[in-house]
């Protein structure tokens, strides 16, 4: 079954056409700067070269139309007709408490996604634009919504409730939701498979370290705690996000710098993290290069990042009452071997030792980076959120066809 996976941001749209029988990516690409001047469209068919075009796209519907045209193009297309696309799978950031699993899109599901827009104002409205555009362009193709929050709905109340007056949870649903759920779900399953341990009897800590970073405690295949909260600002020190801090700091900065709370939050989201600490870049490649040239702030930012990850691994070892495996994924986790080394250097107390040469060799691929005598296995498992979305979409479509 060919599934078109769509990940809509407010001004960008990533897509992949996946054959769910072979799990092959038939085509992939990006529509960038939607609704802004100097738009860019890219398309890469399986086995072919990437094609990039400058084209203005006034809205998401225009962008999706370009994608569909590229897929059936007589020269570079990969399918003959749009009928070959049996379903579209949409990544949705926030599903609130309503969605514990992926869902077939209908009016009710759209309404619930709309209701969660308050909690993800930058993301959910953009996802809905994508859903509406697909509905218009392919009215007979079913759609499935796959939520970043769904995997974490298994968290117990003591992990998701904040130490706030309980009425705020009752009135406004203020609680930990967690994000990157599709990635944590995929990586925890794959880690168990890769290491040959039974998922239903396992304690795995998954570390999704990218621009945005989060960490998850997965017990017997279910998320029991995760570092992001009501929004993706909480938890680890990230590329540009602060992660955990004393909430009193917000008012303190506002007073000192004569800023509004909104302006301070913007600083915490966009100008903090390793970018803020280093004053240089949010990108770990830049920080490594600067560190090698003797930039002490770049080194410090990387140390702060690694320390926070290690601290969470310690906390989640307690949450899981022990740990069998730790997995690294996403841009930093899959590639930044020096950062992984720094994190693992904090974990000797768990009986973990880094296999230096395995760590250096394991870049962008699966591998074990702890020594064979380590008490806990540490591995790298490249994430694949698109594949997970395609699998869920297929499963839901097949189930609805059975009824």
Applying CB under 6 A, the residues found at the interface with ligand ADP are 210-212, 239, 283-285, 330-332, 335-336
State yes or no: 14 annotated in a binding site.
yes
Burial class (CB in 10 A: 0-12, 13-18, 19+), 189: middle
Give the residue with the Cβ less far from ligand ADP, 154 or 211: 211
State yes or no: 335 annotated in a binding site.
yes
Q: How far is CA 99 from CA 249, 275, 301, in A?
A: 33, 34, 36
State yes or no: 285 annotated in a binding site.
yes
Measured from the CB of residue 372, what is the shortest distance to ligand ADP in angstroms?
Answer: 26
Residue 40 β-bridge partners: 32, 54
Determine the length of the chain.
Answer: 403
Measured from the CB of residue 334, what is the shortest distance to ligand ADP in angstroms?
Answer: 7
Measured from the CB of residue 358, what is the shortest distance to ligand ADP in angstroms?
Answer: 17
State yes or no: 69 annotated in a binding site.
no
Measured from the CB of residue 274, what is the shortest distance to ligand ADP in angstroms?
Answer: 8
Active site annotation includes 148:
yes
Measured from the CB of residue 399, what is the shortest distance to ligand ADP in angstroms?
Answer: 30
Asked if 68 contacts 60 with a C-beta cutoff of 8 angstroms, the reply is no
Asked if 4 contacts 388 with a C-beta cutoff of 8 angstroms, the reply is no
- Tokens standing for residue 91: 């990544």
Give the residue with the Cβ less far from ligand ADP, 126 or 332: 332
* Interior/surface letters 346-375, b for 16+ CB within 10 angstroms, e for the rest: bbeebebbbbeebbeebeeeebbbbeeebe
Query: Going by C-beta distance under 8 Å and a sequence separation of 6 or more, which residues neighbour residue 135?
Result: 143
- Selection from 236, 221, 399 nearest residue 310 by Cα: 236
Residue 146 β-bridge partners: 91
Q: How far is CA 357 from CA 192, 318, 341, in A?
A: 23, 30, 11
- What is the gyration radius of the CA atoms in the chain, in angstroms? 21
State yes or no: 334 annotated in a binding site.
yes
Residue 207 β-bridge partners: 215, 328
State yes or no: 163 annotated in a binding site.
no
Dist. CA 267–CA 246, nearest whole Å:
15
Asked if 218 contacts 205 with a C-beta cutoff of 8 angstroms, the reply is yes
What totals of helices (H) and strands (E) does the chain contain, helices first? 15, 14
State yes or no: 340 annotated in a binding site.
no
Cβ neighbours, 10 Å, residue 67: 21
Dist. CA 88–CA 146, nearest whole Å:
11
State yes or no: 341 annotated in a binding site.
no
Measured from the CB of residue 104, what is the shortest distance to ligand ADP in angstroms?
Answer: 27
- Selection from 395, 391, 399 nearest residue 185 by Cα: 391
State yes or no: 333 annotated in a binding site.
yes
Asked if 268 contacts 242 with a C-beta cutoff of 8 angstroms, the reply is yes
- Tokens standing for residue 175: 């609680």
Measured from the CB of residue 338, what is the shortest distance to ligand ADP in angstroms?
Answer: 8
Give the residue with the Cβ less far from ligand ADP, 100 or 295: 295
Cβ neighbours, 10 Å, residue 378: 29
Q: Which one of 32, 148, 225, 392 is the catalytic residue?
A: 148
Residues with a known catalytic role:
148
Binding-site residue numbers for Mg(2+) are 7, 385
Going by the annotation, the residues of the binding site are: 7, 14, 91, 208-212, 283-285, 331-335, 385
**Bind-site residues for ATP:** 14, 208-212, 283-285, 331-335
């Amino acid at each position: 079954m060919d599934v078109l996976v769509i990940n809509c941001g407010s001004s960008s749209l990533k897509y992949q056409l996946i054959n769910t029988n072979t799990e092959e990516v038939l085509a992939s690409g990006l529509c960038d700067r939607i609704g802004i001047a100097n738009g860019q469209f890219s398309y890469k068919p399986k086995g072919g070269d990437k094609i990039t075009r400058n084209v203005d796209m006034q809205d998401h519907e225009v962008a999706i139309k370009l994608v569909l045209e590229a897929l059936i193009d007589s020269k570079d297309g990969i399918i003959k007709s749009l009928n070959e696309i049996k379903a579209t799978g949409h990544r949705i950031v926030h599903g609130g408490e309503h969605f514990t699993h992926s869902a077939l899109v209908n009016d009710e599901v759209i309404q619930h996604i709309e209701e969660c827009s308050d909690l993800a104002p930058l993301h959910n409205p953009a996802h809905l634009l994508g859903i509406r555009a697909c509905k218009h362009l392919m009215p007979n193709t079913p759609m499935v919504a796959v939520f970043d929050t769904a995997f974490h709905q298994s968290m117990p109340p003591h992990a998701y409730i904040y130490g706030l007056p309980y009425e705020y949870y009752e009135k406004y649903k203020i609680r930990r939701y967690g994000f990157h759920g599709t990635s944590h779900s995929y990586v925890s399953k794959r880690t168990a498979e890769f290491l040959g341990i039974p998922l239903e009897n396992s304690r795995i800590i998954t570390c999704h370290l990218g621009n945005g970073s989060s960490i998850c405690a997965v017990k017997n295949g279910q998320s029991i705690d995760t570092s992001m909260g009501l929004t993706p600002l909480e938890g680890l020190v990230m590329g540009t996000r602060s992660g955990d801090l004393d909430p009193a700091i917000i008012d303190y900065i506002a007073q000192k710098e004569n800023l509004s709370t909104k302006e301070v939050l913007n600083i915490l989201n966009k100008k903090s993290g390793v970018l803020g600490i280093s004053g240089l870049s949010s990108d770990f490649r830049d920080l490594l290069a600067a560190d090698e040239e003797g930039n002490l702030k770049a080194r410090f930012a990387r140390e702060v990042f690694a320390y926070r990850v290690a601290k969470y691994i310690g906390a989640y070892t307690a949450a899981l009452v022990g740990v069998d495996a730790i997995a690294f994924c996403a841009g930093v986790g899959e590639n930044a071997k020096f950062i992984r080394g720094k994190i693992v250097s904090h974990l000797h107390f768990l009986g973990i030792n880094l296999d230096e040469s395995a760590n250096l060799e394991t870049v962008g691929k699966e591998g074990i980076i702890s020594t064979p005598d380590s008490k806990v296995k540490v591995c790298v498992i490249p994430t694949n959120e698109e594949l997970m979305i395609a699998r869920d979409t297929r499963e839901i479509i097949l189930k609805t066809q059975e009824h």
